[in-house]
Amino acid sequence: MIYQSPIFGLVMVDKKDEEKKFLFVVSKRISKKAVDRNRIRRVLSEVIRLNLDKIRPGVRLSFLVRRLILEWKWKEIKKEVEEVLGKRGLVEER
């Protein structure tokens, strides 16, 4: 299943195991500077880490980042990721 956001594309695959795996693709087309690409990876990783206990088991998520993410602040990125996870039913209700 694929979902498009203004700042990333999200590819989801469900497996029958308990593992949760995440992939962040930030190409050189986004920014030539490794500093910028690494910052984006760190921000997305941190957002996932903060929500890891809420994400249902057996899911594989691939984030395909778009250039617009460079203009967004950390809180905006966090809100967008959490919103997408909620809309796609990837968050378990507790």
33 falls within a domain: yes
Write down the pLDDT at residue 18: 87
| pLDDT given for residue 42 in this prediction | 97
- Domain with 13, as residue range(s), is 2-87
**Residue 92 domain flag:** no
State how far the Cα of 73 lies from the Cα of 88, in Å rounded to an integer: 23
Which CATH number covers residue 7? Answer: 3.30.230.10
What does pTM read for this prediction? 0.90
Decide: residue 40, CB within 10 A, 0-12 exposed, 13-18 middle, 19+ buried: buried
The pLDDT, as a whole number, for residue 80 is 95
Please list the rounded mean pLDDT of every run of 10 residues in the chain (94 residues). 92 90 96 96 96 91 96 96 90 68
Give domain status of residue 56, yes or no: yes
Residue 30 lies in a domain: yes
For residue 81, the model assigns a pLDDT of: 94
- Which runs of consecutive H residues, i.e. helices, occur in the chain? 34-51, 74-87
